Amino acid sequence: MTDIAIVDYGMGNLRSVSKALEHVAPTASIVVTSDPAVVQKASRVVVPGQGAMPNCMRELTSHGLKDVVLEAARNKPFLGICLGLQMLFDESEEGNVKGLGILPGKVRHFSHDAMIDSDRNKLKVPHMGWNQVHQTIQHSLWKGIDSDARFYFVHSYYVEAINPEITAAYTLYPTPFTCAIAKDNIFAVQFHPEKSQLAGLTLLSNFTKWEPHSSR
């Protein structure tokens, strides 16, 4: 049986995610796959993603992976990265496309008019580069990571969750936005742990050992 399936629907930094997981879990069986049967049988599932949300949802469906991703999000340790976070919500302003609807909320575009920092400097969209992640809950995936550790971001959209209790961390750009969510067996992040050096590798390592039904 596969320990960790990295879902390949044609959009994602799959090699970097795979190499990072292999580094932190060298004895685990880790596969990058577009085969729904392999995803279904895997013990843990990682859904990365880069690009546009409409393409993401279209490709997920065309590869026959939508149903197994929904199933994984219901019953096994699930890690979403970037679009893998955004797709969990009801809908996105990017193309006005429907998401998977697992979590109530919307994916919104950074407002260009609001992109002014405290020194009156204009901030760029997309939000790209290193930024602090401020943890708001205790969680197994935060173990060994400073509460204001820096992670690497590349995105123009962010999630607006209806239920604030699922927010696991926020980042300022320039105002707070949710950058990590946690609910039951799901943990998903807007940043890229595979590009975030020690903090990112620690998070991925924690995921490979996480038992969500025994403890948070």
Give the per-residue pLDDT at 214: 59
Chain segment 87-101, per-residue pLDDT in tens: 999 999 999 999 999
Residue 194 known to be catalytic: yes
Helix (H, G, I), strand (E, B) or coil at 171: strand
Degrees (nearest 5) of the Cα angle 62, 68, 70? 100
CB 1 within 8 A of CB 41: yes
Q: Are 6 and 31 in contact (CB under 8 A)?
A: yes
Does the annotation mark 192 as catalytic? yes
Low-confidence ranges of the chain (pLDDT < 70): 214-216
Residue 214 to residue 216: CA distance in whole angstroms: 7
The pTM (predicted TM-score) of the whole model is 0.96
User: Is 71 one of the catalytic residues?
Assistant: no
Ordered DSSP codes for 68-136: HHHHHHHHS-EEEETHHHHTTEEEETTTTEE---SEEEEEEEPPGGG-B-TTSPBPPSSEEEEEE-EE-
Which residues contact residue 22 at a Cβ distance below 8 angstroms, ignoring those fewer than 6 apart?
Answer: 28, 30
Query: Which residues, in sequence order, are bridge partners of residue 80?
Result: 47, 188
Q: What is the structure's pLDDT at 203?
A: 98
pLDDT at 136: 98
Unique residue bearing structure tokens 């943890």:
135
How many CA atoms lie within 13 Å of 62's alpha carbon, on the beta-carbon side? 9
Give how far the C-alpha of residue 180 lies from the chain's centroid of Cα atoms, to the nearest Å.
7
Residue 213: what pLDDT?
74
Residue type, position 78, single letter: F
Say which residue the tokens 């400073």 belong to.
Answer: 146
Alpha-carbon span 58 to 97, nearest angstrom: 10
pLDDT, position 216: 58
**Which of the residues 56, 82, 139, 155 is marked catalytic?**
82
Query: How far is 124 from 189, CA to CA, in rounded Å?
Result: 21
